Amino acid sequence: MSDEQIDHDLVILGGGPAGLTAGLYAARSKLDVVLLEKGATGGQVLNTDWVDNYPGFPEGISGFDLADKMAAQAARFALTTVMKPVQSMDLSGEVKKLFLESGDTLTCRSLIIATGARPSYLNVPGEKELQAKGVSYCATCDGPFYRNLEIAVVGGGNTAVQEAMHLTKFAAKVYVIHRRDELRATRILQELAFANEKIEFVWNSQVAEILGDKEVTGARLVTKDGQESTLPIQGIFILVGIQPNNETLPLDQLEMEDGFIVTDREMRTNIPGVMAAGDICSKNVRQISNAVGEGAVATLSVEHYLLGG
């Protein structure tokens, strides 16, 4: 081991479900650990009005309350959480170095990156105001709330088309709004979607505004030639991609795929001693439950690494 000063055995970067679970496991195992978070702990869960599919809460639970319970459980084992944003880092050596915005440098033997991701937004009027009131970014999370209603999906890639088909299990009608006249999804997905009688495609159109006061009531659409129309709907799923929160990561040192971190099944990255968990990882499924599982596995991998494994 290097003779350099080392502040902690483990630093966890990010306080969403993956980071909090990693912190819970680490603190409970008596590791010298600190969790760094730039804002409030909870991550995207804080923006989720209601969580119906997390085990252990048969009646469901608000996103805020779920995040609060996760943080409280980690705190019970004395997890140290520090609200200090990271500016950059160097993971090339045996000792990992995190350079904070405050000008301080934090060193550690191991690191778990759980910085998460964020949905791509349309950035149109009404979108922000009606989030969790009919505007959603996850069909798997929120689809059951729209039983027998008419809703819309924005996007034309694989995720948008797959989610549109998933939503037909609940909704009476699903409009797929796409800015082009053909989909980007794979041919087999297109064929399945075109054959689904509950799905109707709205081509060459973009959402200019999401309408509603206390809840979504419609969307104002604009075509390529400037024609406007109003589509009456009770919900809208914006599925135009996700953005990894990788701005502070050393992208030249980590193995990445489309901006997300590549890991093995034990959540190890290509750098010894550096693990990743949650939505920052390159994967297909991003749910609270698998983020939690990945956080636990990441800490167990850290313990194995610190023991010389």
Distance CA(86)–CA(290), nearest Å, equals: 25
Between 212 and 308, the more confident residue is 212
- In this predicted structure, the answer to whether residue 1 has a pLDDT above a threshold of 50 is no
Give per-residue pLDDT as tens, 7-31. Answer: 999 999 999 999 999 999 999 999 9
Please tell me the predicted confidence (pLDDT) of residue 47.
Answer: 74
Distance CA(104)–CA(120), nearest Å, equals: 32
Give per-residue pLDDT as tens, 204-250. Answer: 999 999 999 999 999 999 998 999 999 999 999 999 989 999 999 99
Give per-residue pLDDT as tens, 63-106. Answer: 899 999 999 999 999 999 999 899 999 999 999 999 999 999 99
Give per-residue pLDDT as tens, 261-287. Answer: 999 999 999 999 999 999 999 998 889
H helix count then E strand count, the chain = 6, 19
CB 159 within 8 A of CB 176: no
Q: Name the pTM for this structure.
A: 0.84
Domains of the chain (ranges, CATH numbers)? 8-118+242-306 (3.50.50.60), 121-238 (3.50.50.60)
Output DSSP code: residue 27. H
Give per-residue pLDDT as tens, 42-74. Answer: 888 887 778 888 999 999 999 899 999 999 999
Task: Give start and end residues of each alpha helix (H) in 58-142.
Answer: 63-76, 139-142
- Confidence tier at 5 by pLDDT (50, 70, 90): confident
Q: What Å distances lie between residue 106 and 4, 13, 55, 84, 245, CA to CA? A: 12, 12, 36, 11, 20
Give per-residue pLDDT as tens, 131-185. Answer: 989 999 988 889 999 999 999 999 999 989 999 999 999 999 999 999 999 999 9
Q: Which of 224, 202, 235, 278 is nearest to 41 (CA)?
A: 278
Q: Estimate to the nearest angstrom the gap between the alpha carbon of 158 and the chain centroid.
A: 17
Query: Catalytic residue numbers?
Result: 138, 141-142
CB 31 within 8 A of CB 76: no
